[in-house]
C-alpha cells in the first residue's frame, strides 16, 4: 500500500523530517507516497485562518504541489475535521504508515493525540517529528523544573541546544512509484483568494510564497542586511530585516535552515553583533511557542490574571480609525496602512501601533490581536498573541505598564527623514522631516506648502498625547500598583 504524508505547517521539501522519512521509507519499500493537506476549521476549538493567511496558503500549497510533483508525489487536498478526514484517507488508500510534523496549539495537539491513538489501535504506524522549532517546548525548564516566563533565561538555556540542530538535507529528487489516484478538492474551491474587491494586489507585489521564495529571501537578507542587522533592525524606512516571517508561518523554511545558513554566511562568527541579534529574534519565536505550549489560552486570556478585570473602553469607532490608519499619528497610520496593503508591518511599528491602541486608546489588546490575525500574512498562533500580551503588559515577559511609547519621539528616532511615513501616508508626502511626525505643530505656511489641511486631508490626532498617557497610567497603575 502507499504511505501517507500529512503536510500542516511544514510546506517545504528541505529540512522536513516527516517528508525525509516518508521518502526514505517509500524508496526502501518500493512503494508510493501520497501527500495531503487538510483544511480544518471544524475540529473543536480550531481558530479559523485570517484572510491574508488564506491568500498566502493558496499560493503556498500551489508551490508545494510543484515541489512534490518532481518526486511524483501527488498533493491531495481535503476539507473537514481531521478526525474524520484522516481515517477516511487511510481507509481509501489502505495505507499502513502515516508521517507528520508536530503542531503546538492545544486544540491541534488534542486532535493529533487522539488520531495517533486511534490509528495505532487499528495497526497504522504514525511517526511524528519536529520541523517547526529549534527547541521543543518541553526540552528546556527553569532551575525549579518549570516552564520559562522570561525571555533572557529561556534563551540562555535554549540557545546552546538551538546552535546544535543541523537541518536535514532535502531528499535527492527521484521519481517514486506511481501513486494510486485519490480524489482531491480543487484549491480554487476553498475560496482563499479575494474576488471583489481584490485586496491582494499589494500582497502579490510584495511576496513570493513557497519554499523557493523563502530561500531567495533568506539569501538576499544574508548578503545585504545580516551584518548591519543589529544597528538597523529598528528602522522601518530601511530594508533591514529578513521578511522571513510569513515563510516561517507555514514552514516554507525552517528555523534550523535559517540558523545554519546564517552560520555559514558569517563564517561561524555567530557571536558578532549582526548574527547574534538576528538569531536572538529567532529565539523570540521559540519563546512564543514555549509560552503557547505551556499556556495554551494566550490568544484570548491574559497571562497575568489580574488583567481579566482591566477597565478597557472598547469603542468601535476608535478601533475602526486605528484599523484604517486614520489616528492622526503619522507613524501609526503608516504602519496600519503598510499592514493593509502588504500584509506585513515592521516590528518596531507593530509595537508602536499596539501601544497606541491599548494604552492611549484603552482598547482591549484582543481587538488588536484579532485585526492582526486577519490582516497579517505572518499571523502566527504563538507570536501574535504573545507579542500583543507583551505590548499590553499582561504577558509573561512584558513591557512594564508605565512604558508608554510616544509615537512622535519614536517616529523621529526610527524614521528620521520621515521616508516611511511618506511612503505609506501619501497625504503627508510633501511634509518636511521636521514636522512629518507632528504635523499639528507645523506653521500654517508649512502646512499650506505641503498641501496638508489637518482635519480634512489628514486627521487631527484622535487623542492628545499626554491626555492618553495620563489616562493609561492611571488605569494601569490601579491594576499593578506593586510595580
Q: Which residues bind ligand FAD (CB under 6 A)?
A: 233, 241-245, 248, 281-282, 284-285, 288, 347, 350-351, 354, 372, 376, 378-380, 383-384, 387-388, 391
Q: Which is nearer to ligand FAD, 318 or 351 (CB)?
A: 351
Helix axes 365-375, 383-392, angle to 10 degrees: 150
User: Annotated binding residue at 380?
Assistant: yes
Point out which residues pair with 99 in neighbouring strands.
5, 127
| DSSP track, 227-247 | TTHHHHTT-TTS--S---HHH
Q: Which is nearer to ligand FAD, 32 or 387 (CB)?
A: 387
CB of 286 to ligand FAD, least distance (A): 8
What's the distance, CA 78 to chain centroid?
A: 24
Helix, strand, coil percent values for the chain (each to nearest 5): 50, 5, 45
User: Annotated binding residue at 229?
Assistant: yes
CB of 281 to ligand FAD, least distance (A): 4
Torsion of CA 474, 475, 480, 483, to 10 degrees: -40
Catalytic site residue 138? no
Please enumerate in sequence order all residues whose Cβ is within 8 A of that of 32, keeping only pairs 6 or more positions apart, or say none.
2, 3, 26, 72, 73, 176, 177, 178, 179, 180
CB of 383 to ligand FAD, least distance (A): 4
If residue 33 lies in a helix (H) or strand (E), which one and from where to where? strand 33-39
CB of 391 to ligand FAD, least distance (A): 5
The cell 499592514 sits on which residue?
Answer: 339
Half-sphere exposure of 460 (CA within 13 A, CB side): 6
Q: Distance between CA atoms of 144 and 311, rounded to whole angstroms?
A: 35
Catalytic site residue 406? no
In 3D, which of 163, 202, 149, 187 has the Cα closest to residue 63? Answer: 187
User: Annotated binding residue at 62?
Assistant: no
If residue 97 lies in a helix (H) or strand (E), which one and from where to where? strand 97-101
Q: Which is nearer to ligand FAD, 420 or 458 (CB)?
A: 420
In 3D, which of 114, 113, 101 has the Cα closest to residue 20? Answer: 101
Secondary structure tally for the chain: helices H, strands E: 21, 5
User: Annotated binding residue at 243?
Assistant: yes
Counting every residue, how long is the chain? 483
User: Annotated binding residue at 278?
Assistant: yes
Strand, helix or coil at 37? strand
Out of 365, 371, 390, 424, which one is annotated catalytic? 365
User: Annotated binding residue at 379?
Assistant: yes
If residue 87 lies in a helix (H) or strand (E), which one and from where to where? helix 82-93
Q: Distance between CA atoms of 270 and 288, rounded to whole angstroms?
A: 22
CB of 284 to ligand FAD, least distance (A): 4
Q: Which is nearer to ligand FAD, 26 or 358 (CB)?
A: 358
Out of 272, 312, 412, 440, which one is annotated catalytic? 312
CB of 280 to ligand FAD, least distance (A): 9
Catalytic site residue 281? yes
Q: Which is nearer to ligand FAD, 48 or 432 (CB)?
A: 48
Q: Which is nearer to ligand FAD, 102 or 285 (CB)?
A: 285
Please enumerate in sequence order all residues whose Cβ is within 8 A of that of 105, keeping only pairs 6 or more positions apart, or say none.
47, 292, 296, 381
Catalytic site residue 55? no
Our CA angle for 373, 374, 378, nearest 5°, is 55
Catalytic site residue 365? yes
In 3D, which of 464, 407, 395, 475 has the Cα closest to residue 437? Answer: 407
CB of 469 to ligand FAD, least distance (A): 19
Catalytic site residue 388? yes
Residue 380 is placed in which grid cell?
A: 502566527
Q: Which is nearer to ligand FAD, 266 or 376 (CB)?
A: 376
Out of 373, 388, 390, 424, which one is annotated catalytic? 388
Q: Which is nearer to ligand FAD, 104 or 372 (CB)?
A: 372
The cell 517514486 sits on which residue?
Answer: 176
Under 8 Å between Cβ of 246 and 50: no
Out of 190, 199, 284, 440, which one is annotated catalytic? 284
CB of 278 to ligand FAD, least distance (A): 6
Residues identified as active-site: 281, 284, 312, 347, 365, 388
What residue numbers does the annotated binding site for FAD cover? Answer: 229, 241-245, 278, 378-380
What residue numbers does the annotated binding site cover? Answer: 229, 241-245, 278, 378-380
Amino acid at each position: 500500500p502507499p504511505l501517507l504524508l500529512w503536510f500542516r505547517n511544514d510546506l517545504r521539501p528541505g529540512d522536513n523530517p516527516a517528508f525525509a522519512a516518508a521518502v526514505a521509507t517509500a524508496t526502501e519499500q518500493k512503494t508510493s507516497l501520497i501527500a495531503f493537506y487538510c483544511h480544518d476549521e471544524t475540529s473543536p476549538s480550531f481558530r479559523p485562518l485570517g484572510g491574508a493567511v488564506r491568500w498566502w496558503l493558496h499560493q503556498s500549497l500551489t508551490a508545494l504541489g510543484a515541489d512534490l510533483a518532481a518526486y511524483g508525489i501527488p498533493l491531495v487536498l481535503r476539507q473537514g475535521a481531521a478526525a474524520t478526514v484522516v481515517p477516511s484517507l487511510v481507509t481509501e488508500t489502505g495505507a499502513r504508515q502515516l508521517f507528520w510534523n508536530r503542531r503546538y496549539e492545544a486544540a491541534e495537539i488534542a486532535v493529533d493525540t487522539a488520531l495517533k491513538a486511534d490509528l495505532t489501535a487499528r495497526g497504522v504506524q504514525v511517526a511524528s517529528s519536529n520541523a517547526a522549532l529549534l527547541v521543543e517546548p518541553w526540552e528546556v525548564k527553569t532551575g525549579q523544573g518549570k516552564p520559562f516566563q522570561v525571555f533572557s533565561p529561556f534563551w540562555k538555556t535554549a540557545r546552546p541546544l538551538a546552535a546544535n540542530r543541523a537541518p536535514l538535507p532535502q531528499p535527492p529528487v527521484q521519481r517514486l512509484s506511481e501513486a494510486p489516484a485519490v480524489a482531491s478538492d480543487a484549491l480554487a474551491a476553498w475560496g482563499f483568494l479575494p474576488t471583489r474587491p481584490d485586496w491582494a494586489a499589494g500582497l502579490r507585489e510584495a511576496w513570493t510564497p513557497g519554499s523557493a521564495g523563502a530561500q531567495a529571501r533568506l539569501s538576499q537578507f544574508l548578503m545585504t542586511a545580516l551584518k548591519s542587522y543589529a544597528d538597523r533592525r529598528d528602522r522601518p524606512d530601511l530594508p533591514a530585516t529578513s521578511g522571513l516571517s510569513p515563510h516561517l508561518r507555514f514552514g516554507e523554511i525552517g528555523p534550523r535552515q535559517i540558523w545554519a545558513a546564517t552560520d555559514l554566511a558569517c563564517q561561524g562568527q555567530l557571536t558578532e553583533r549582526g548574527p547574534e541579534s538576528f538569531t536572538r529574534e529567532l529565539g523570540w519565536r521559540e519563546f512564543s511557542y514555549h509560552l503557547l505550549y505551556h499556556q495554551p489560552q494566550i490568544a484570548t486570556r491574559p497571562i497575568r490574571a489580574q488583567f481579566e478585570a482591566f477597565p478597557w473602553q472598547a469603542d468601535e469607532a476608535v478601533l475602526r480609525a486605528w484599523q484604517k490608519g486614520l489616528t492622526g499619528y503619522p507613524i501609526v497610520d503608516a504602519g496600519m496602512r503598510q499592514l493593509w496593503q502588504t500584509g506585513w508591518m515592521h516590528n518596531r511599528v507593530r509595537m508602536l501601533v499596539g501601544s497606541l491602541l491599548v494604552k492611549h486608546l484603552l482598547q482591549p489588546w484582543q481587538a488588536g490581536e484579532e485585526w492582526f490575525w486577519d490582516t497579517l500574512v505572518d499571523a502566527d498562533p504563538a507570536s501574535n498573541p504573545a507579542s500583543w500580551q507583551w505590548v499590553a503588559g499582561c504577558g509573561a515577559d512584558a513591557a512594564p505598564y508605565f512604558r508608554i511609547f510616544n509615537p512622535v519621539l519614536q517616529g523621529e528616532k526610527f524614521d528620521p527623514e520621515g521616508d516611511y511615513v511618506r511612503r505609506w501616508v501619501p497625504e503627508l508626502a510633501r511634509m518636511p522631516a521636521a514636522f512629518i511626525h507632528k504635523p499639528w505643530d507645523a506653521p500654517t505656511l508649512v502646512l499650506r506648502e505641503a498641501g496638508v489641511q489637518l482635519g480634512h486631508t489628514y486627521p487631527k490626532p484622535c487623542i492628545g498625547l499626554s491626555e492618553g498617557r495620563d489616562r493609561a497610567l492611571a488605569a494601569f497603575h490601579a491594576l499593578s500598583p506593586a510595580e
